[in-house]
Amino acid sequence: MIRILLLLGWASSLFAAPLDRIVAVVDNEVILESELRQEASTLAAQLRQKQIDLPSSNIFIRQVLERLIIKNLQIQYATSLGIRISDSDLNASIENIATKNKLSLAEFRLAIENDGYSFTVFRESIRENMLLNRLRKVKISDKIIISDREIDNFIATQRVQGENETAYRLQHILITLSDAPSPTELQQAQKKLIKIKQGVDDGTNFSLLASTYSDGQNALEGGELGWRKAGELPSLFANVVPLLAISQVSDVIRSDSGFHIVKLVDKKSEEQHIINQTQASHILIKVNDIVSDEIAEKKLTLLKKRIEQGERFVDLARAHSDDMV
């Protein structure tokens, strides 16, 4: 159960309010105002660094709170599955981040604190990110089954596309629908997104509109989806994005989850390397005190002749190979 206790009408005072309060209850966990304030401050700094315009204070705080609630639920779920991040794994990850920034661990910690952040809070945020990444890997690996036919089809598709594949940098705005939307809800959601697209066409910053109105997971990043290769595009956009010119915004796209528009920010060609798939089988004759190199070689030569004469490889392997289970 989730209970939201924050009154968004006074959300603009969050950054300065000295009194800590509970702003949300997520099952048995609470989200404090200080956590919300810290998360909002960190995100605001990151977005300004990326030159992404922030929405109004009330909208921004609501979106940050929604993020915290989702993250809290995911962390509780990961914990219930027994997923843990050890201190040694956490230390190794932080040291790796410091190394990538060409800093010693002491210098990296000082840089974090000089930017106004608590290193302890930073350290725990890295632990949470690692925990959520492991959760995603566990859930994805449980669901993905790739057949040989799918692999063959993928390789064939890559060959058709040639040695160069286009990658697209995208931004996205989503207006979600309920599981069973009424005709009125459908009409209102579509009208809302058409109005947003009209704002883009009239010159309003796409990032600002995304951070203000989008229900997508990347709304606060201005709807940024990053670079996607053609084969990585969501099926919903696969036939739309390649036809867009740079800076062009798509028409409204309908899906089960809602209404979408996508903007092509940039594109580039990337060289591909096709790897041929080969299925290999073998017969193993182990050398030991009884079977010498010469005997093993003679046995393999005889088996080879039998295969050439038409006997099935799999049958001979099952009968004679020393590594068959």
CATH class of 166-271: alpha beta
pLDDT top residue among 59 and 140: 59
Q: Give the dihedral sign, CA 12/14/16/18.
A: positive
The owner of tokens 């566990």 is 138
Query: What residues does CATH 1.10.4030.10 cover in the chain?
Result: 2-143
CATH number of the structural domain 2-143? 1.10.4030.10
pLDDT top residue among 102 and 165: 102
Average pLDDT for 159-183: 81
CB 175 within 8 A of CB 193: yes
Distances in Å between the Cα of 145 and the Cα atoms of 81, 133, 142, 209, 247 are 21, 20, 8, 38, 37
Most distant pair of Cα atoms in the chain: their distance: 87
Query: What residues does CATH 3.10.50.40 cover in the chain?
Result: 166-271
Please report, as a single letter, which amino acid is at residue 319.
Answer: A
**Using CA atoms, how far apart are residues 35 and 227, in angstroms rounded to an integer?**
31
List, for residues 20-67, the tens digit of each pLDDT value: 788 888 877 888 888 888 888 888 888 888 788 788 888 888 888 888
Pairing of strands 22-26, 29-32: antiparallel
Tokens of 309: 């004469």
pTM value > 0.85: no
Residue 266's pLDDT is what?
94
Residue 197's pLDDT is what?
94
List, for residues 86-125, the tens digit of each pLDDT value: 999 999 999 999 999 899 999 999 998 888 878 898 898 8
Average pLDDT for 278-307: 69
